[in-house]
Amino acid sequence: MLSEDEAMFRDAVREFALAEVTPLIGSMDAAQEMDAGLIQKLFEMGLMGIEIPERFGGSELTFFTSVLVVEELSRIDPSVGVLVDVQNTLVINAIQRWGTDDQKARYFPRLASDTVGAYALSEAGSGSDAFALACRAARDGDDWILEGQKLWITSAREAGLFIVFANVDPDAGYRGITAFVVESDAAGFSVGKKEDKLGIRASSTCELVLDGVRVGPEAVLGEVGVGYKVAIETLNEGRIGIGAQMVGLAQGALDHTIRYVQEREQFGRPIGQFQGVQFQLAEMATGIEAARLLVYNAARLKDAGQDFLMAAAQAKLYSSEVAQRVASTCIDLYGGYGFTREYPIEKYYRDAKIGSIYEGTSNMQKQTIAKMLLK
C-alpha cells in the first residue's frame, strides 16, 4: 500500500518518535506542557511543514505523508501527534488552499522552520454549530478590528500564528464569516485560560482573547465573507488527520499489550497463550487495520483531487470508535496494572476519548455520512 519512499519516511519518523518522544511522555503529561526542545526537533525533522513547497523551506510532500507522520507520532504520544496534525492538516492546508502568494511567502518559511500554528474557530456557544460565532470583525478604514473570545484552541500556548474566524456581518449569518491570519504578538491579542484536560494533556488547549486586535487587509485569508468555506474545507481534511491520530493511538496501545501478555503469567503460563486473550488481540488488530485503511483511502482521495467528504467522515468516526474500544480492552488485559500510571496503557485510554469530540463529534460525522447517502 505504501511506496518505497513513503515506507522509508514512515520508518524514519517511527525511529525519531521512539528515540525522542518516548523519554518525554511521562514528564510532558504530568507537566501538561509540550517540551520546547522536542518542538524544535520536529521542525528540524521537517515534520512541521510537510506540504510546504521546498522554496519556502518545507518538505513538499503529500497530504498522505502528513497522515503517516501523525499516525507514527500518535503511536508513541497522541499529544505530539495532534500538534503536528493541526500544523499540517489545518493551518498549512488552509494557507495553501486560500492564501495569496504574499501570504504564502510571508508565513510558509516561518511555519516550516520555527513557528507553530493554531486554528481558532470554536467558541463557548459555537461547538458543533460551528458558525454561531460571537467573535466580530469591524472595518476601521482599510483595517479590521477583532473583538471576542475563542475556546478550546489546540496548541494555543505554543503558537505564534493563528487563523481566527470572525463574523464581519452578523445579519448575513454564516456568509459574514471571514478568516484572518493573526500573529500572537498583535496588540490586544492574548492567550487566556489553559484547560485542565482528561487526555492529550501535553497538548495545550486554551482560550483566546481578542480585545481590539487591529489587522490590515492583508490578514484576510481567502475573501471577506467566505470564511465558512475556509472552515468547512479545512476541517474536512483535518478529520483525516484526527483519524490518523486515533489509528496511531490504537496501534500503540496494542503494541504495549502484545508485549505485556507475553510476559504476564497466570496459572503457570503467559496470559497470551489463553484463547480468550488471543481472540481479543485478533479483534483489536483487525479493527485497527480496518480503521487504517479508511484513513489511508480518504487521504489518497484527497491527494488525487477526488471527493473525499464521506470518506473523511467515515475514517474519523470509525477510527475514534476503534481507539476507544482498543484502549479499553487493553486495560482489561493489563488488569489492575492497567489502572495505574506505572504502565503506559492508562494514558492511551485517557487520550482516546477526545477523538469522538474534536474536529466534529461522532454524531456530526454520522449526520454527514447520512446526508451523503441520501443525496
Domains and CATH numbers, the chain: 4-115 (1.10.540.10), 119-226 (2.40.110.10), 229-374 (1.20.140.10)
End-to-end Cα distance, the chain = 31
CA dist 56 and 111 (Å) reads 9
> pLDDT tens-digit profile of 39-76?
999 999 999 999 999 999 999 999 999 999 999 999 99
Contact 161, 212 (CB under 8 A): no
Pull the grid cell for residue 190: 492574548
> pLDDT tens-digit profile of 337-374?
999 999 999 999 999 999 999 999 999 999 999 999 99
- Average per-residue pLDDT for the chain: 97
CA 360 to centroid of chain Cα atoms = 12
pLDDT band at 130 (very low <50, low <70, confident <90, very high): confident
Residue position matching grid coordinates 501538561: 32
Residue 127 has pLDDT above 90, yes or no: no
Residue 90 CB coordination number (10 Å): 24
Instruction: Please state the length of the chain.
Output: 375
Residue 1 has pLDDT above 80, yes or no: no
Contact 308, 302 (CB under 8 A): yes
The catalytic residue among 71, 158, 346, 359 is 359
Contact 299, 70 (CB under 8 A): no
CA dist 312 and 360 (Å) reads 11
CA dist 100 and 105 (Å) reads 9
Q: Residues with Cβ < 8 Å from 76, sequence gap 6 or more? A: 17, 18, 21, 22, 25, 252
Q: Residues with Cβ < 8 Å from 273, sequence gap 6 or more? A: none
- What pLDDT is recorded for position 159? 98
pTM: 0.97
Residue 275 has pLDDT above 90, yes or no: yes
Distances in whole angstroms, Cα of residue 171 to Cα of each of 175, 179, 243, 251: 9, 17, 36, 47
Residue 7 CB coordination number (10 Å): 12
Provide φ and ψ at 7, rounded to 5°.
Answer: -65, -40
> pLDDT tens-digit profile of 288-309?
999 999 999 999 999 999 999 9
Residue 163 has pLDDT above 90, yes or no: yes
> pLDDT tens-digit profile of 311-339?
999 999 999 999 999 999 999 999 999 99
359 is catalytic: yes
Residue 128 has pLDDT above 90, yes or no: no
CA dist 16 and 20 (Å) reads 6
Mean pLDDT score, 169-195: 96
- Which of 26-65 are b and which e, b meaning 16 or more Cβ less than 10 Å from the residue's Cβ? eebbeebbbbeebbeebbebbbbbbbbeeebbbbbbbbbb
| Cα dihedral: 2, 8, 13, 19 (round 10) | 140
CA dist 296 and 356 (Å) reads 19
Residue 24 has pLDDT above 90, yes or no: yes
CA dist 2 and 12 (Å) reads 14
